[in-house]
Structures are given as structure tokens and as C-alpha cells.
Structure 1
Amino acid sequence: MLRWEQALARLLHLLRLDEIKRKILVFALTATLIPSLTMGWLSYGQNSRVTSEKVSEELRVASSQASRELDIWIKQRIYELRVFSSSYEVSENLQKSRGGRVNPDAMRRLNTYLKSVSEKFRDYEELLVINPDGQVVSSSGGHASAINLPGNWLLLARAGDAIVGSAYWDETSAQTVVRIAVPIKSADDQLLGLLATTLNFVAVEEIMGKLTPRETVQMYLIDIDGRVITSSNGALPDQKQARLPETVIQRLVGESTAEPALPAIEYTNLAQQEVLGNIALSSQQEWAILAEITEADAYEQIIRIRNLTLLITVAVLLVIGTSAYLLGVTIVRPLHRLTRGASEVANGNLGVEVPLIGGGEIGYLTEVFNYMVGKLRDDQQELAAVNDTLTKTNRELQEISITDGLTGLYNRRYMMETLSNEVSRASRLKHNFAVLMIDIDHFKRYNDTYGHLAGDDLLVKIASLFRQSIRDMDLAARYGGEEFLIILPEHGAEAAMGVAERIRTGVGTATSDLNNSQEAVSVSIGVATFPENGTTPVTLIESADAALYQGKESGRNRVVLSDAKPGARAGSGEPSRTKRTRKS
């Protein structure tokens, strides 16, 4: 044997390619893989460069257009303020209260004017008048607030310039706002004060949203320090702390001022995503528009083409590899079947069954394998049956834990959880709902007269009537003893009173012939609504309970709407029982 042949044989032995089947397979795969990967890599590089240039241009155009629109928006707001500040209502009424004098009529007219103007412009959160001493003398909101203007505002005002403060987070409206102001001057050009407004950025958010070239592009309004003011979708990572690193801002600003324009830069954004970004500075303020897109979205098409190329390459490799593999697979095919079967069992598929072909050792091994899988399958079915039983039992226990054992209504604990959730939902959606507190009149006397079993039957009958009188979305619960509580989502006072009256009359009709009594059983009902009578579970229940007590005091068998106001009571957790002796 020649030396090169010996060296090649040793190499193939080290690579475990002694078998002909493996040699054919490796050769076929190598001959396919090398040219496919080479062409794919060259194509991917060229497409990446083209896509990067396209995305950079989209971001540059979008940020520039948004920056121009931002400048126009600021100029329009300043122009509006100048128009309002020149109004007779502002200058004349303010002049009447100069020199420490306060003219109540003038201030009232000025407040009315500011409020009417503020209500007509959605960009205005508040309009206020500030005197030259920096004091707020009139506000559309009816209360004084911090002026939030630059330290040199008085010099700017005397020079007749518009004043723009820094954007800040407003806790009251839960959004980022900015305060701008213009001077108010008398006919003799004397400075009377400032007309200032607190602007929200809703219009700016809409502008950025409309100018995004694609859904995956996100635009931010930032200040020169990198603090995020707002975004095209109105969401901020952290309203008070969102700030881009200084190095990123420097790179973005340098890119935006370069001639010719440079491609979008890569950086890590506030959401810790790798993005491409472009910035455009505003000519009016120390603000800028930042447009960015994640690299995954920017190169989505390229990635898709790359993946398709890889998929085709893999498919070709599979076809060629399978053809090469079939040349030597017939000898070890039964063992391969067992190997695949064992792999499927390891992955949890116990439905596998290896076909028995031939006899000998392989045939016996196949029989043992199929028997083992069958035993595992039977054990799995038994375990599944046990799990089904446990699930059903747990469901029954859950139902028992939230219902009253006598009436079948929900119990007090579950009612409090539901009421708390309903308060949160109604607060978030600005909806209303109602709470009915129901007490059976003279229930103690009924128990004493007819016995406790009859009293239990009465509770069950009335609970059944409640279920028939309310909707599926409503909730009826036994609050304690002969007291019940019903939650009516999406009900105002009038609708709730109607439901309560229907329940009251229904109880009288349903119990008219109970125990051959001379008179029907009656109930008294107290009605409270959210948010008119309370904004927490505690205050709502206490309001309904107070209305119920009023009904008891007024003769029972009636429905009374609470007149309590939110904040009239304070409390937390479970509502405390009113410190009084309620008539039964």
C-alpha cells in the first residue's frame, strides 16, 4: 500500500469513517454543503447592506418630518397663547388687581375665561395667569400650582419673548407635560404678568404615530439630556427615570449633523433591545425626535430569506443524505427502528409500536420492547384516571369554599373578593355599579314563632328568589345571618332601585302563604352606587348598610338609596359594623 493511502486510511479511522456507508454519506453532504453555504453567505451580505441603507433612510426621513411637525406644533401653541393674552378679559381683569389689590369680580371673570378656553383645546391641561412676582393669581383648574418655568422667565417676559419650561412628569394627570407662557402687557407696554398653559403631548404622540414608516418603527420625543418625554404609542419604559445613555445621545447627534447623512447607528435602547436609530433635533427647543427599529424587525426580510436559503439547503442535504444513507441502511434497519422507538418513548410518546419483522435476537428484543411500552401505556392510563378524579374533587372543594352551605349563594369571603375586583374594574374603565344590602324584616320573631328549621327554609326560598331576579353577571351572597348582599355591575342608581324594588315585591309575593302566616315576609333594602356613595368596598358596604338602617327606622319593607358621599367614611379591610342596634 502506498504511503498516501496509509495516511488516508489512518485519517479516516480517526474520523470514524471506516464504513462505506459513512464515507458515501459524508462525501455527498460535503459536496452539497460547501457551494450552498458560500453562495448563501455572499447573497446575505449584499442584501444586508441594501436593507441597512433603506432602513437608515426611512428613519432619517421619519425623524426629520416629526421634528418639523413638532416645531410647528410649538409655534401654534405659542401663537394661541399670544392671542389669548391680548384678550380684553385677560389684560383688563388682571390690571384691575394690580398693586396688591384683589378685585373679586375681575378674578372671577378671569377664572371663567381661562376655564372656557381650556375646555376648548385638548392640548391644554391647565391655563393660569402669573403675576410678575411669580404668584399664580388665576387658574382654569381653580387651584394654584408650581409655575415650572425657567429661572430667567421674568427677563424673557419683559423682553416680550415666549417662555418654554422643561418637560416634567405630572402626578395628577399621570403623564408628561410642559409649561409654556407668554407675557401679558398693558396698553402702555407695561408687564402685567404671564399667561401660561400646561400642555400635554397627546397631539405630538399622534403626529409621531402617523409619521412612522412602518408599524415596527418606534418614535420618541427626548430632551438633549436623553430623557424620554413621550413616544409614538404614548408608553414610556419608566416615566420618571427613562433616559438614554450620554454616549448614545452623542453618537446619535453626531450622526444627525454629519454631511452627508450617515447610516443609522446601532445601540441598546431602554428596553435592552439591539436597535437601529436616527435622531433629528428640533429648531425651537432642546428637544429631538428619535426614530428607532429593532434589528430583528429591520432585518426581518433578510432573515426570512436567509432562513429560506438554509431551509432549501437542508432539504437538498436531506435528499442527498437520504439517498446515500439508503445504500447501507438495510443491514441495521431493525436496530434503527428500535432506536427511534426508544427516542419517542423518552419524549413521552407511549403510542409507539415497533413492527416485528423476522426472528432471532432482534425479533426477541423487539417483542420485549413492545411489551415494556405496553405496560408503560397501561400505567399512564391508570395515572390519567386518578388525575381526572383528583381534578373533579378539587373543583368540588373549590365550589364548597366559595358558597354558603345553607342557601347555595356565594359566601361573604368570596363576595368581598368579587367586590374588590369590581371596584378596581369600574375605576379603571370609569364605569358604575351598585350594591344592594338586604335584611329580612322581623326574622328573629319569625324564627321564634315557626322554629329554626322554618327560618332556614325561608332563607333558602329567599336566596332562590334572588337568583331568579338577577342576571348571570350579577352576584348574590349571604353576608351574615339574615343579611344578603347583591352586586349589580353596570348599574346606576335608577336601575339598581328598580332591581331592588322587584326583589322586595317578589319576596312579599313568594312568602305570602308561607307557614299559614297572616302576613307575608318582607325585606328592607339599602342601595349604594359606585362612585357616588363610595369608592372602596368598605365605604360602599357601609353606605348600603346605612341606607338599610334608614329603611328599618322608616318602617321596614322598603328600598332606600344611600345619600352618602365618597370620603365621608374611612376604613380598610372588612367593613366595621355600625355602632348601633339595628332593628331586625
Structure 2
Amino acid sequence: MLPFDFYSIKSKITLFALLATLIPSLTIGWRSYVQNKRFLSQKITQELQKVTSQASRETSLWLKERLYDLKVFSSSYVVTENLARLQGASAGQIEDERAVRGLRDYLGSVRAKFGDYEELTVVAPNGMVVASSAQLPGPVALPDGWLDRARAGEAAIGSPHWDEALRAGTLVVSQPILGADERLLGALAAKLNFHVIVESLASDSGPDLSDFYLVTRSGAVVAGTHPVPVTSRPTKAALPPDLASRLFAQESAASEYSSPRGVAVVGTLKTVPGLSLGVVAEKERRLAYAEIYRLRRTTIWLVGGLLLGVGSLAYLLGLSIVRPLDTLIAGAAKVATGSLDVDLPVSSRGELGYMTEVFNHMVEQLRLGRQELGEANQTLRERNQELQELSVTDSLTGLFNRKHMWETLARELEGYKRHQRPLAVLMIDIDHFKRYNDTHGHLAGDEVLKRMAEIFRSSLRVSDYAARYGGEEFLMVLPDTDSTMANQAAERLRGLVAAENLASAGPAKITVSIGVASTSGHEEEPESLVRNADTALYRAKKAGRNRAFVFEAGSTGPS
């Protein structure tokens, strides 16, 4: 008799168990591999997109900062006065030499302090070099149309290129030099070295990137974190033209290709605003998908071990335990999916029957535990919500408290500084509230405060914010609102309060005085904005109450 009889019941069970294990395992393993690879590809793409987007913004910001610095240098007294002296009709040779020496010394000192500039040059309107920071100044490749832009008072930006003498990517920019009478005296040109910004970007991008460089639309690399052999020959592109065109056309999309160093990589490109350049970030494909390769090997080993174990167990157990075990497996699978609606029938008095009873008891305990856990979690969420509300609200009025107000105002001011959106603050005080309290009692005063809070809440927009500042004072924060709109809102609010009929007030009316303050375009702080609103409130009260005043610079509040 053969050691393995295909016609026996145990052999059939073993074969069935092996196939039943192999097919789902391979299917799940393959789907897991595909999904993990897709997820990892998305993750790599997001990481590269984040790096290139940040690098693009920082490169653009770096260029703007250099243009601003150059504008400051071009408008300095040393530059304008010496250049005007050189162009004056009465200047002699000694004066001319002194003026040129003054310009050269100034440019040299600026060049020594700012490492981004390889060379600074003052040129006349006819393009002739007047003075330079270089020891041996040569001709300057000024940007196209620089003179027209200079006459219009605008900066000019050249095309990025590879400087063979410096063995680095450079960019020539210029700023007009205007005299006291706004007459064009010339231009201040600067040769910028991309190596400085690339080093800064590479240090911020982290160690996971294989390469990081700036590339033109023709594929020439002007600066990078790793030496590329072809960058020293600017006539030959470091990236094939068709690859460079594809990267620029599919901006921010991840592509797999061979890098300039001949390595299979995954990379993305992001254009730099204001420049015909793209920032390319690359990661070696082997390193990028190392986790997938490890998962594939682990899956193979796991599937092999699972097949061996299941086949051996199925052959040893035999047909007598298959059916009860299938029942248990089905119940366990249902529980594994999260369903606890399981009650297996006990079809045997042996070990499997006992196991089934234990399984049913375990599911029942899990069901009870899940119910208790759900109730506990619900109670905890409700308590946390109550604690959260108590920590940020005023117990009497239900409005936000003063502490939360300061936090909210600071956050809104950060948004104002970042996006330059207007922001206004209303400081509201109930007129003669102390006299009202003394006349009608504190309980009546509390009712007035509650009613004021209801009026304020009913008049708020979705984005507005109201808080009790203290005593009978309230504060409202109005995002995206300038001083005119805020004053209109204050008058509308004052009218609502004046029209309110409080029975306890008798024939007298409850009125409010309101101080309005808004952001003025300067660096604002929460304390200064509230102080300005308080100053305006003081003026409103001093002018007779029941009115709104807008803060004006130079006005004073209570001493």
C-alpha cells in the first residue's frame, strides 16, 4: 500500500485542506502585496511632493529676499550719490576715481557679508560696468530687457545657467538705481549662486532622499546635492530632453526613470514660481520599495509554513473532527470580523463538544464586555464633553470665558498675519449696570447678563465669537471684518439691546456702550487690539454712553 493513498478519506481531507489554504492565502497575499505597493507608492509620492513643494516655495522666497536685498543696496546713499557724481558734468578725474573707489568698496563689503552673491556690479544705462566687487571684473550678462524694466522701476531676472568658471549654477538679477529726482542712474546687477539654496534645502529635506537638484526645462542640472558628471558640460543635458519634458508636463506626479547618476529612481518635479526651473527630488527605487520586497519574502515563507502545518494537522485529525471543527472555524471567523452574534450547536459530548461550549461562553463574555465597554466609553465621552465645556464657558451666561477668549483671539490674529485678512474686536459694556444691580438686586442683574448673552449669540455669524470679558463687559471677535463693517455691526447690536424690553428695568432701558478696534496692517498682538477696543469704549462712555466708537490712533483711554 502506498504511503499516501489518494483514495483514502484522510488523503482527500489533506488535499482539500491544502487547496483550501493555498488558494485563499495566495489570493490574500497577492492582494495584500498589490495594495501595500499601491499604498507605499502613494506615500512615496506624497513625501516627494511635500519635499519638492517646500523646496519650490523656499527657492522662490530665497529669490524674493535676494531681490529685496538688492533693492536695499541699490537705494543706499553710497550707491546713488557716487553714481550721480560720476554722471555729473562738473566732476573731475579725482572725484570720479573717488566715486568709483567708494562704489567698489561698498560692493566688496556687501559681497563679504552676503554669501549668496558671487559678484555685484554697478552698470550705467548704456550697459558699461562702472564698479564691481570682483578683483578682475569682466563683462556682465545682464537679463534680457533689463533697461526697459529699470526705466519702469522694476527688477529684471535672467535665465539660470551653468557658470563654468565657478563650476556652479548661477542666475543674474538686476535692480534699477534711481537718483533723488527719480532719474535712472543705472542698475545694480548681482550674480546669485544656487549652491547656497540647494545646501539649505538639502539639509532640511532629511536623509531619505537619494538626490535633490534644480533642473532647467531643457534638462540641464544647475545645482544638486550629488555631483552629476554631465553638469560640468552645460551643452549636454543631465536629463534626457524627453524625460525633462515629461517631468515638467506631469508636475508633482511620481515617475520611475533612470537618474543622471544611472540609478533607477522614483522622482517628482515642482516648478519654481518666477523661474524657468524645476525642483527634482529622487529616491532610489530599491530603497523606496524595500519594505514591499521584505513583505513578499515574508508572505512566501508564511504561506509555505501554513501549508505544511495545515496539511499535517488535517491528515492526523481525520474525518471525525472535520465537521465540528469546521463549525468552530466558521464561528471564529465570524467573531474575527467583529460579529458576536454567534451561538454554536453542541453536537458532541467529547473534547470538541466541550470546546464548543467554551467557545460559546467566551463569545457571550465578549458580548457582555463589548456592551459594558461601549457604555463606559459613552459615559466617558459625555463627561469629557462636559468638562471641556465647563473649562471654556462662563457658567452664568453660557458664553466663552476670558481665558478661552485670549486663546481664540491669539489664534485669529495668527490667521490675520498669515493671510492678511481684516479682524475686528468689539468691547461691550452695559451702561449703569452697577446702579441697576443696586436698584433691582443681583438676581435681576444676572438675568440682564443672561439676556445680553442671548442677544449677542443671536446676532453672531458662524465665524464670529463672543465671550464674557468680566463683570458686565463682553468681547466679540469678528474675523474678515474691517473697521467700517465692525462699526455697522456694533450699531446694529446696540440697537437690538436698546429695543429689548426687560420687565425688571421698569420704564428705564438697558443700553450698551461699544468700543470698536480693528487690525491696522501692523504687527498686532491680542493685548494691543483689546486695549484699543477698551480705549474706544472709554470714549463712548465719556461721550454719554449708548453709542459705539471706533478706535483712532492717538486717542487715549482711562489713565
CA distance in 2, matches of 1:29, 1:448: 87
Residue number among 511, 517, 539 corresponding to 1:528 in the alignment: 517
Aligned positions of 1:375-454 closer than 5 A = 375-454=365-444
**Residue 506 of structure 2: which of 516, 521, 529 is its match?**
516
Q: In the alignment, residue 502 of structure 1 is paired with which amino acid? A: R
Asked if structure 1 preserves the Cα contact closer than 8 Å seen for 2:212 and 2:281, the reply is no
Say how many residue pairs are matched: 403
Equivalent pair of 1:278/1:292 in contact (CA under 8 Å): yes
Q: Deviations over 1:438-472 (max 9, x none)?
A: 11111112212222112111111111111122223
TM-score of the two chains, using structure 2 as the length reference: 0.55
Kept in 2, the 8 Å contact 1:157–1:183? The answer is no
Residue matched to 2:447: 457
1:330/1:31 CA distance change after superposition, 3 Å: closer
Q: Quick one: distance in 2 between partners of 1:354 and 1:30? A: 23
Residues in 2 aligned to 1:394 and 1:30: alpha-carbon distance in whole angstroms: 47
* Per-residue deviation, 1:500: 0.4
Kept in 1, the 8 Å contact 2:118–2:191? The answer is no
Structure 1 residue 249 corresponds to structure 2 residue 194: no
1:479 alignment partner in structure 2: 469
CA distance in 1, matches of 2:352, 2:482: 78
Q: Taking structure 1 as reference, are residues 496 and 28 closer, same or farther at Cα in structure 2, changes over 3 Å only?
A: closer
CA contact (8 A) 2:430 2:473 kept: yes
* From 100, 104, 107, the counterpart of 1:133: 104
* Alignment CA distance shift 1:502-1:341 (3 Å): same
> What is the alpha-carbon distance in structure 2 between the residues aligned to residue 30 and residue 472 of structure 1?
57
- Residue by residue over 1:523-569, the C-alpha shift from the partner in whole angstroms, topping out at 9 and shown as x without a partner, is 1111111244862211111111111112122222211111239xx99
Letter of the 2:471 counterpart: G
Task: Report the CA distance between 1:515 and its aligned residue.
Answer: 2.6
Q: Deviations over 1:389-425 (max 9, x none)?
A: 2211221222222111111111111111111111122
The structure 2 residue matched to 1:195, chosen from 188, 193, 214, is 188
- After superposition, give the CA deviation of every residue in 1:88-131 in whole Å (9 maximum; x if it has no partner): xxx9998644389999xxxxxxxxxxxxxxxxxxxxxxxxx997
Is the CA contact (8 Å cut-off) linking 1:441 and 1:522 kept in structure 2? yes
Q: Which runs of 5+ in 1 are unaligned?
A: 13-18, 41-73, 75-80, 86-90, 104-128, 137-144, 168-176, 185-191, 200-221, 280-286, 570-577
Aligned to 2:140: 161
Q: What is the one-letter code of the residue matched to 2:188?
A: L
Q: Give the CA deviation at 1:351.
A: 3.6
In the TM superposition, what are the counterparts of 1:12-161 in structure 2 within 5 Å?
A: 20=11, 24=15, 96-98=84-86, 132-133=103-104, 135=106, 149-150=117-118, 153=121, 154=132, 159-161=138-140
Q: Tell me which stretches of 4 or more aligned residues in structure 1 moved more than 6 Å.
A: 25-32, 91-94, 99-103, 163-167, 245-248, 254-263, 266-269, 287-290, 297-300, 324-329
- Specify the SS of the correspondent of 1:479: strand
Instruction: Tell me which residue corresponds to 1:548.
Output: 537
Structure-1 residue corresponding to 2:258: 264
Q: Distance in 1 between matches of 2:12 and 2:387?
A: 62
**Distance in 2 (alpha carbons) for counterparts of 1:275 and 1:224:** 23
Give % identity.
36
**d(CA) in 2 for partners of 1:417, 1:554:** 32
Q: CA deviation at 1:339?
A: 5.2
Structure 2 counterpart of 1:417, one-letter code: E
- AA aligned to 1:495 is M
Shift of the 434–31 alpha-carbon distance from structure 1 to 2, 3 Å rule, reads closer
DSSP 3-state at the match of 1:331: helix
Aligned match of 1:50: none
CA distance in 1, matches of 2:478, 2:318: 72
**1-structure distance, mates of 2:90, 2:416:** 43
Question: What SS does structure 1 have at the residue aligned with 2:475?
Answer: strand
Q: Does 1:227 align with 2:198?
A: yes
TM-score of the two chains, using structure 1 as the length reference:
0.53
* Mapped pair 1:332 → 2:321: yes
CA contact (8 A) 2:13 2:318 kept: no
Cα distance per residue 1:170-212 (max 9 Å; x no partner)? xxxxxxx96634999xxxxxxx86433799xxxxxxxxxxxxx
List per-residue Cα deviations over 1:286-337 (Å, max 9, x = no partner): x99774554569999xx99x99xx99xx9xx99xx99x97999643322354
Checking the alignment, whether the CA contact within 8 Å between 2:402 and 2:470 is kept in structure 1 is yes
